[in-house]
Amino acid sequence: MRQRSRIYHLEAFLLIAGLLLSRCIPERKVNLPENLYRHVEYLSSDKLLGRKVTSRGDSLARTYIADQFKAYGLYPGNGASYFQEFTYSGDLFHGVSDDSGKIVYNVLGFIPGRDPSQTLVIGAHYDHIGIKHTPGIQDSICNGADDNASGIALLLELARKHGHEDTPDCNLLFISFTAEESGLLGSMYFLRHPPPDIYTIKAALNFDMIGRMQDNRLFINHTNSADFWRDMITIANEESLTIIYDNLNSRNDGVCFTMAQIPVIWFFTGLHEDMHQVTDEIDRLNFAGMVKIFYLADRIVNQLIY
């Protein structure tokens, strides 16, 4: 038993030492559009079979996200683990599921701040709907490039950037929610069972379907959850995006934060005919628009953490 304890402490020491070293190494010049593309390319590839919750593709997606968090110098966000597990209760939206009772996972990466009592959450869901057979269409994999590989890609690049910056005034928690498509289950579980180092969530940003910008237009919802949001957004909007506020406030993880009375905003580029179809592919994304959203979101984050 004593030998096993020594091995555990050695592994923990090596993990922390590696993370500290990765945060100290200056980051090489980042090609943001290329990085966003690379994340979406993997997460929306046929290999992941549409990232349906509890599937092998779901497992590959969460492993990829955790590996990126570690590579960017983020600490595990749930004690000693990058994963927060819970039991899948089935599909609340559609009422049909053969996978109830299986274990599913949120993925969390953590950057400690000077004030450990306050945390800013940056979130996006990583699951999608998997396989869908459509008469007359040979392809059956709903790859979910916009929904929501786009949101995860942006979250990962924000994690990369802040993983190499000065210690923020408050904690930063990057969380990739599972089972959003089944009824916001991942965000609901997280808020009901926060990790041990999370005391007060001061605010949250949520990215869901941010890859199809048209006419320089961006929808930002839930701004009525706090008085400060619109002023912050106006200050951060150096790209002169056309911001449309609070046009759609349902069926996204941000709803769970509003129900918990936590200030939250949801970034969104709009509904489209490819949503939940096999045609939601990477070649239809607007990566230049995603870059604009990244910089807008990053300026808002900086207003909240410094």
Q: Which residues contact 144 (CB under 8 A, 6 or more apart)?
A: 43, 44, 50, 51, 128, 129, 280
CB atoms within 10 A of CB 177: 29
Q: Look at residue 5 in the predicted model and tell me its pLDDT.
A: 45
The DSSP 8-state label assigned to residue 52 in this structure reads B
> What is the model's pLDDT at position 96?
64
pLDDT of amino acid 95: 66
Residue 4: the pLDDT is 41
Nearest to 19 by CA among 64, 80, 70, 78: 70
Residue 94 has pLDDT above 90, yes or no: no
What was the pLDDT predicted at 91? Answer: 85
Domain range for 171 is 2-305
When pLDDT is cut at 50, 70 and 90, the band that residue 197 belongs to is confident
Q: Is the pLDDT of residue 211 over 60?
A: yes
| Burial class for 127, CB neighbours closer than 10 Å (0-12, 13-18, 19+) | buried
Q: Over range 130-151, report the average pLDDT.
A: 91
Secondary structure of residue 28 in the 3-state scheme: coil
Mean pLDDT of 41-47: 98
Least confident of 56-65, 94-103, 279-288: 94-103
pLDDT of the residue at 3: 47
- Looking at residue 99, its pLDDT comes to 83
Please say if the pLDDT value at position 179 is more than 50.
Answer: yes
Tokens 């490039």 belong to residue = 145
Structural contact between residues 131 and 141, judged by C-beta atoms closer than 8 angstroms = yes
> What's the Cα-to-Cα distance from 143 to each of 126, 129, 208, rounded to whole Å?
11, 8, 15
Check whether 78 has a pLDDT greater than 90. yes
CA distance 105 to 53: 9
Tell me how far apart the alpha carbons of residues 295 and 154 are, in angstroms, rounded to a whole number: 10
* CA 294/CA 288 separation, integer angstroms: 10
Question: Could you give the number of structural domains in the chain?
Answer: 1
Q: How many of the other CB atoms lie within 10 Å of CB of 96? A: 7
Considering only residues 226 and 25, tell me which one the structure prediction assigns the higher pLDDT. Answer: 226
**What is the mean predicted confidence (pLDDT) over 148-171?**
98
Return the pLDDT at 109: 98
* pLDDT of res. 13: 46
* DSSP letter string, 227-239: TTHHHHHHHH-TT
The pLDDT of residue 27: 53
| Category of 152 on φ-ψ map: left (φ > 0), alpha (ψ -120 to 50) or beta | alpha
User: Binning pLDDT at 50, 70 and 90, where does residue 203 land?
Assistant: very high
Bridge partners (DSSP) of residue 103 are 87
Across 266-279, average pLDDT:
96
- What does the pLDDT average to over 45-68? 98
pLDDT above 50 for 266 = yes
The pLDDT value recorded for residue 202 is: 98
Distances in Å between the Cα of 107 and the Cα atoms of 165, 169, 173, 236 are 21, 23, 10, 28
Residue 257's SS3 state is: helix
Strand, coil or helix: what is 119? strand
Predicted pLDDT at 28? 59
- Nearest Cα neighbor of 125 from 14, 281, 266, 226 is 266
The H or E element that residue 185 is part of is helix 185-192
The model's confidence at residue 228, banded by pLDDT at 50, 70 and 90, is very high
Residue 77 has pLDDT above 90, yes or no: yes
Closest residue by Cα to residue 118 from 204, 186, 192, 191: 204
Domain with residue 249: its CATH number is: 3.40.630.10
Instruction: Tally Cβ neighbours within 10 Å of residue 54.
Output: 22
Q: How far is CA 153 from the centre of its chain?
A: 8
Average per-residue pLDDT in the chain?
A: 91
Bridge-partner residues for 242, per DSSP? 217
